[in-house]
Each structure stands twice: as structure tokens, then as C-alpha cells.
């Protein structure tokens, strides 16, 4: 699938028919889906999107051009977020089958990891039955961004796996590479790098486990999801950067595992919301808390 299942959170909003027809086949590995929110001129500022949905009889007609839909090249359907035509700020979410008139999947850009799993989804007066509307009309952005909240948390285990692998590769390299007749591992400068890498990995893993345990318990760790995506993506990047350093020219050589992991991990500071957007969201949460604190103990006690 090229990442965590991108359907997961949509279960909460789907009808029984949608679950049968779209989501369960994804869970069984029989169908694949992609998530199409981003456009060339609407990334962090998703509300700038130009894709529109116009009501037409018992359905909608969608027109627009989505980019960077991960898994697009092999997806059977897309979860598309579109602006309701004629509105400023009303968006809806749809299941859109990717075979049929008025829709095509085009070759997308190749990101720096070199993995070619992104595609453009181009909709041109594409008819979507009303039964494919996810949730209520106008709820699309809430549904889309809610999916992103869970998805951004579920990227963290992927990042932790890459960071752990980088630490293991670095330990092996430091143990087997000799300088001045001794393993690199004997140098305190290298030991300290490894100590920091392992410590930061432990912190990132602990916070991820905490937030995912809350999700499992039915609590929606919204703010924590932003914090985890921010911290884990930044930490994994720092760990990979040090791993490249420890590997010397080997780490900079195309085709070496650590070089590939470095390029791959770099993308996570941008995808599913950039680090800056995560910080904005955490700061917004803190501002709301500041309001409560400033309102005095009575308001604080009311939660």
C-alpha cells in the first residue's frame, strides 16, 4: 500500500454499503485506495483547492486536478475532497471509482525517495452517485483532516522503524570500520552520537506508544498526534543524518541502505502536514489552554 492503510479512519463515517463495497475489500487486500486532497496550489492551505462538486440529479459532478495521491498508480478508487460549487467554505468527501468516464490517473511526480507511488487524479465532469458521498454534505474537510490526524500518527511507527534500522546499521558500521587501527566505536565522538541517537529514538518511541495506546482506548489524541508527527519526523531525520555521518562516504553513496533511508525519512517532514503546520496546530491548542488558564480556577475546574 505504500504506507499505512489510508482508509482506516473513514470507517467512522461510511455507510454499510460503502463499508461493504469500498472499505472491507481494502482491509482484505482485494482493492486499493488513495486519498486525494492536495492540489498543485493547495497543499498546507488545503482550503485553496479548486476541485468542485456540483449537484446533478441523484449524484454529483466532480471536476479538478489532484496531485501527489500516494498509491494512485495502483488504486481502484480515491477518497476525494472537493469544494461544493458556489460555496466559499463547504467541502464534501466522496468515494470515486478510478475507472469510468470523466476520470483518469496520470503519472505523478517522483519524490526524492525514488519510489514511484504518487499519481495525479484528474476529474473532468466525473459523475459520482449520491450513495458515494462520505458523511454529510459539507463535512468533507472535517472528515478528510480527521483521517489525516489518525494517518499522521500511524506514520510514526514507520519512522521509528527507519530510525531503529539506522541506529543498527550505524552500530555495525562503528564496530567494523577501523580508523588508526581501532574500530570507530572506540571514539568518544562516535559513542556520543550513538548515545544521542538511541536516547532520542527512545523518547520518540515512548510518545508514539502513548498516543497510540490512547487511540486504542477510544480517546482521540488530536493534539498528541500533531506532537508525535512533529517530534518523530524531526527526530528520525536527525538520527538518519547522524547515521550518514557515521557511515562517511559509504553513507553518501547511492544504493547504500543508509543513503536510501535518509532520502526517504526526509519526506516525512513535509508529507501528511509539514512540521510547521504541526507546530501551528500545537500552538493553537496551547492558546486555547491559555484562554482557560487566564479565565481563572473556576474555568480550569470545569475542564
Ligand X SMILES: Cc1cc2nc3c(=O)[nH]c(=O)nc-3n(C[C@H](O)[C@H](O)[C@H](O)COP(=O)(O)OP(=O)(O)OC[C@H]3O[C@@H](n4cnc5c(N)ncnc54)[C@H](O)[C@@H]3O)c2cc1C
In the complex, the residues that contact ligand X under the rule CB under 6 A are 34-38, 43-45, 68-70, 111, 118, 267, 270-274, 276-277, 280
From the CB of 66, what's the least distance to ligand X, in Å? Answer: 7
Q: Which is nearer to ligand X, 18 or 38 (CB)?
A: 38
Min. distance of Cβ 268 from ligand X in angstroms? 8
Of 153, 139, 168, nearest to 79 by C-alpha is: 139
Which residues, 6 or more positions from 99, have their beta carbon under 8 angstroms from its beta carbon? 76
Cβ distance to ligand X smaller for residue 171 or 267: 267
Measured from the CB atom, is 63 or 274 closer to ligand X?
A: 274
How far apart are CB 289 and ligand X at their closest, in Å?
Answer: 20
Q: How far is the CB of 36 from ligand X (least distance, A)?
A: 6
Query: 289: which 3 cell numbers?
Result: 489552554
Strands (E), 132-174: 133-134
Distance CA 142, CA 148 (A): 10
Minimal distance, residue 9 CB to ligand X, in Å: 14
Burial class (CB in 10 A: 0-12, 13-18, 19+), 255: exposed
Question: Which residue sits closest to ligand X, CB atoms considered?
Answer: 43
Nearer to ligand X, 38 or 92 (CB): 38
Instruction: Give all strands (DSSP E) within the chain, no chain letters.
Output: 33-36, 52-55, 59-70, 77-84, 91-97, 103-107, 118-129, 133-134, 178-179, 182-183
How far apart (Å, rounded) are the C-alpha atoms in residues 163 and 205? 10
Q: Which is nearer to ligand X, 143 or 194 (CB)?
A: 143
Min dist CB 57 to ligand X, Å, is: 28
Listed in sequence order, the DSSP H helices in 19-92 are 24-27
- Cβ proximity to ligand X, 116 vs 220, nearer residue: 116
β partners of residue 139: 91
Looking at the Cβ atoms of 170 and 235, the one nearer to ligand X is: 235
CB of 238 to ligand X, least distance (A): 17
Compute the chain's Rg from CA coordinates.
22
Amino acid at each position: 500500500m505504500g504506507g499505512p492503510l489510508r482508509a482506516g479512519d473513514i470507517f467512522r463515517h461510511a455507510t454499510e454499503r460503502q463499508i461493504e463495497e469500498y472499505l472491507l475489500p481494502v482491509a482484505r487486500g482485494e482493492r486499493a485506495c488513495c486519498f486525494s486532497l492536495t492540489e498543485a496550489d493547495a497543499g498546507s492551505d488545503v482550503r485553496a483547492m479548486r476541485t468542485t462538486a456540483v449537484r446533478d440529479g441523484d449524484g454529483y459532478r466532480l471536476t479538478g486536478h489532484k496531485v501527489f495521491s500516494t498509491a494512485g498508480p495502483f488504486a481502484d478508487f480515491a477518497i476525494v475532497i472537493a469544494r461544493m460549487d458556489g460555496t466559499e467554505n463547504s467541502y464534501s468527501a466522496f468515494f470515486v471509482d478510478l475507472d469510468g468516464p470523466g476520470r483518469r490517473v496520470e503519472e505523478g511526480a517522483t519524490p526524492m525517495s525514488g519510489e514511484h507511488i504518487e499519481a495525479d487524479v484528474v476529474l473532468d465532469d466525473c459523475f459520482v452517485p449520491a450513495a458515494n458521498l462520505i458523511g454529510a454534505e459539507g463535512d468533507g474537510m472535517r472528515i478528510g483532516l480527521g483521517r489525516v490526524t489518525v494517518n499522521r500518527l500511524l506514520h510514526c511507527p514507520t519512522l521509528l522503524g527507519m530510525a531503529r534500522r539506522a541506529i543498527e546499521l550505524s552500530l555495525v558500521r562503528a564496530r567494523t570500520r577501523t580508523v588508526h587501527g581501532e574500530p570507530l566505536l572506540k571514539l568518544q565522538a562516535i559513542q556520543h552520537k550513538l548515545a544521542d541517537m538511541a536516547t532520542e529514538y527512545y523518547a520518540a518511541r515512548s510518545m508514539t506508544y502513548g498516543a497510540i495506546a490512547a487511540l486504542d482506548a477510544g480517546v482521540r489524541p488530536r493534539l498528541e498526534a500533531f506532537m508525535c508527527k512533529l517530534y518523530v519526523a524531526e527526530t528520525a531525520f536527525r538520527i538518519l543524518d547522524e547515521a550518514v555521518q557515521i557511515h562517511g562516504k559509504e553513507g553518501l553513496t547511492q544504493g547504500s541502505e543508509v543513503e536510501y533511508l535518509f532520502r526517504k525519512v526526509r519526506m516525512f517532514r513535509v508529507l501528511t502536514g509539514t512540521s510547521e503546520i504541526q507546530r501551528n496546530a500545537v500552538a493553537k491548542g496551547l492558546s486555547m489552554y491559555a484562554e482557560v488558564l487566564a479565565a481563572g480556577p473556576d474555568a480550569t475546574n470545569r475542564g
